[in-house]
């Protein structure tokens, strides 16, 4: 295998969680360990004029939340790690779902105070659909939260996950004293705002060692011995094959804001996490070890740098070796393209790269050639499958407030919907532009970005639609008649696919029953 060494040292994963569980903070601590940044940004503090490294959109820095997936690449212990920080807010779930198609594993952050929350359930369901390996990081152990055993039981029952503790905490909240690493038999003592060095890590091969009593006190030492005996009896050693198959999830405890428990997780992660995997295409299964390059676009971001009006397509390399300035086959457009400045990322900063290998996520400068799901190859015609578009839940008409800026508005809406933050529909029987989103916050982001990045002012008027369904039929005539008859409730998406806009669940069910020759789809796979 030509590129075996490069493939084996790569790990590509996403960090997912409910909002405010500490996902972006954890991301920054991982970057600190990788030497990619020197100081972490204060995500929530308005007093400190720093911001989270991974939050690169102006609106994210103002509001202290992540609304788009960020890509960061860094080296750690001779491993090349591609880390994707996803939006936690439920209104941006679709961006997160698509990101999960581009990674090989996931770190799920659970807030020890709040436990399992709604968005956590939705994200884990997507991971389960793909059997994505999950590592769980229980965060905020330095705050008064749920009992550690109760919390594990809640995660197992609510998320249908089988957990396997790798570290175990000594108390929580004000009494939190540290974690015992069951994997390598070491005790890490907690001090607030630790720099994550090795000074407070003590090797304890035998938990009966009196050193444990000295360090944490007799009462807590006794409790830890009982806990570890119970855990060893129930769980035993980690079965790595079961983890890679998505059957069990290693669990770590810590406090990301204090940089505690993070290094233990990272060290274990690079040992057990999957290297780049084979992927299904429309023609066959493609494996990383193949000589010929292939990859797919899972995200597009316009105006990464507003001054330069650049548009970046994020591509996951799946096989072979990608080389700068080499021509590759754009399957959908059936033409050859080359890239003189492919990038690797650390959030907003970009570095031009000469080559990339399976597992890498690279940025390609795009003049409008790419859509989400596009595949590049060295000549073979196939598409990577399983990159879905979901039916929106909220629909609003886009209204231009400044006719002099119509061109800017058109361009802005096209580019922003290409990114996948929202879907654009055009209603038949008129040229009404309808934006469909999963949540209201997306409309705020679109309005803000149209004004600040394109100089186009707009407003949104709520429309009384319940769901958008993509329509297919073997009988083209019947489909045409349905679209003509339902002109007020039909239109097309930006790729020209016919859609039906149902006013309610009752209307939708009625039309589905009355039109058995037409199929109503609630997701639209990008390259079906």
Same domain (yes/no): 35, 176? yes
Whole-structure pTM value? 0.78
Is residue 85 in a domain? Answer: no
What per-residue confidence (pLDDT) applies to 281?
Answer: 92
Of 1, 93, 84, 40, nearest to 393 by C-alpha is 93
Same domain (yes/no): 265, 287? no
How many other C-beta atoms are found inside a 10 Å radius of the C-beta of residue 242?
14
- Please list the alpha-helical segments (H only) found in 419-504: 440-454, 476-485
d(CA 169, CA 224): 8
How many other C-beta atoms are found inside a 10 Å radius of the C-beta of residue 221?
22
What per-residue confidence (pLDDT) applies to 74?
Answer: 83
Which position has the token pair 């580019």?
A: 415
SS3 231: helix
What per-residue confidence (pLDDT) applies to 328?
Answer: 95
Same domain (yes/no): 157, 173? yes
Of 183, 213, 185, 214, nearest to 201 by C-alpha is 185
Same domain (yes/no): 26, 161? yes
What per-residue confidence (pLDDT) applies to 1?
Answer: 61
Is residue 483 in a domain? Answer: yes
Is residue 8 in a domain? Answer: no
Same domain (yes/no): 221, 366? no
| DSSP 8-state assignment for residue 305 | S
User: Which residues constitute the domain of residue 440?
Assistant: 389-525
Per residue of the chain (528 residues), what is the pLDDT tens digit? 678 889 999 999 988 888 788 888 888 888 887 775 555 443 333 333 344 444 445 544 554 444 345 678 888 888 988 888 776 445 455 667 777 888 999 999 999 988 888 778 877 877 887 789 999 999 999 888 888 889 999 999 999 999 999 999 988 888 888 888 887 788 888 876 555 454 467 777 778 888 888 888 889 889 999 998 898 888 888 899 999 998 999 999 999 888 888 888 998 899 899 999 899 999 999 999 999 999 999 888 765 555 555 678 889 999 999 999 999 999 999 999 999 888 776 544 567 888 999 999 888 888 778 888 899 999 899 999 877 677 788 899 999 999 899 999 988 888 788 777 788 999 876 678 899 887 777 788 888 888 988 899 999 999 999 989 999 999 999 999 999 888 888 999 888 899 999 999 999 999 999 999 999 988 776 554
Same domain (yes/no): 54, 170? yes
Burial 263-298 (b: 16+ CB within 10 A, else e): bbbbebbeebbbbbbebebeeeebebebeebbbbbb
Is residue 367 in a domain? Answer: yes
d(CA 484, CA 465): 18
Here the tokens at position 513 are 């029953």
Is residue 5 in a domain? Answer: no
Cα dihedral value 207, 212, 218, 220, nearest 10: -80
SS3 148: helix
Domain final position from 345, 377, 409: 377
Of 25, 14, 197, 28, nearest to 98 by C-alpha is 14
Provide the number of structural domains found in the chain.
3
SS3 518: strand
Domain final position from 256, 272, 288: 272
What per-residue confidence (pLDDT) applies to 216?
Answer: 85
Domain final position from 334, 354, 377: 377
3-state DSSP helix/strand/coil % of the chain, to nearest 5: 30, 30, 40
Is residue 86 in a domain? Answer: no
């Amino acid at each position: 295998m030509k590129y075996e060494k490069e493939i084996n040292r790569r790990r590509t994963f996403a960090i997912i969680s409910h909002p405010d569980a500490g996902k972006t903070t954890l991301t920054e601590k991982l970057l600190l360990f990788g030497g990619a940044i020197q100081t972490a940004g204060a995500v929530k503090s308005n007093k400190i004029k720093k911001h989270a490294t991974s939050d690169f959109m102006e609106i994210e820095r103002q509001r202290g939340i992540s609304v788009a997936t960020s890509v960061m690449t860094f080296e750690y212990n001779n491993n090349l790690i591609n880390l994707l920080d996803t939006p936690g807010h439920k209104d941006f779930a679709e961006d997160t779902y698509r990101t999960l198609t581009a990674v090989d594993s996931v770190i799920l952050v659970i807030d020890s105070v709040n436990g399992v929350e709604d968005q956590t359930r939705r994200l884990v369901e997507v991971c389960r659909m793909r059997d994505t390996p999950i590592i769980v990081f229980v965060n905020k152990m330095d705050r008064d939260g749920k009992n550690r055993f109760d919390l594990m039981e809640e995660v197992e029952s609510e998320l249908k996950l089988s957990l396997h503790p790798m570290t175990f905490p000594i108390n929580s909240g004000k009494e939190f004293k540290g974690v015992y690493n069951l994997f390598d038999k070491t005790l890490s003592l907690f001090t607030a705002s630790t720099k994550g060095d090795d000074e407070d890590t003590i090797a304890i091969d035998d938990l009966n060692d009196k050193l444990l009593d000295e360090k944490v006190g007799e009462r807590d030492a006794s409790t830890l011995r009982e806990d570890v005996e119970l855990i060893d009896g129930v769980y035993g050693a980690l079965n790595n094959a079961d983890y890679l198959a998505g059957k069990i999830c290693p669990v770590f405890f810590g406090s990301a804001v204090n940089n505690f428990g993070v290094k233990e997780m990272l060290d274990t992660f690079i040992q057990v996490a999957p290297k780049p995997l084979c992927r299904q295409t429309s023609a066959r299964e493609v494996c990383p070890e193949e000589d010929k390059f292939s990859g797919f676009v899972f995200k597009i971001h316009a105006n990464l740098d507003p001054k330069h009006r650049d548009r970046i397509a994020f591509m996951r390399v799946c096989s072979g070796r990608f080389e700068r300035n080499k021509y590759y086959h754009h399957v959908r457009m059936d033409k050859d393209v080359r890239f003189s400045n492919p990038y690797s990322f650390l959030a907003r900063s970009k570095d031009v790269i000469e080559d990339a290998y399976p597992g890498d996520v690279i940025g390609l400068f795009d003049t409008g050639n790419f859509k989400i799901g596009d595949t590049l190859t060295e000549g073979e015609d196939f598409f990577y499958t399983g990159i879905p578009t979901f039916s929106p839940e909220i629909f609003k008409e886009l209204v231009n407030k400044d006719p002099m800026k119509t061109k800017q508005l058109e361009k802005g809406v096209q580019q922003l919907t290409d990114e996948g933050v929202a879907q654009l529909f055009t209603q038949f029987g008129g040229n009404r532009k309808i934006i469909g989103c999963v949540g209201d916050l997306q409309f705020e982001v679109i309005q803000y970005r149209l004004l600040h990045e394109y100089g186009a002012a707009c407003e949104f008027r709520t429309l009384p639609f319940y769901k958008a369904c993509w329509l297919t039929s073997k009988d083209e005539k019947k489909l045409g008649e349905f679209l003509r008859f339902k002109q007020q409730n039909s239109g097309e998406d930006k790729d020209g696919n016919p859609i039906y806009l149902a006013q309610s669940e009752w209307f939708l069910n009625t039309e589905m029953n009355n039109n058995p020759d037409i199929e109503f789809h609630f997701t639209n796979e990008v390259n079906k």
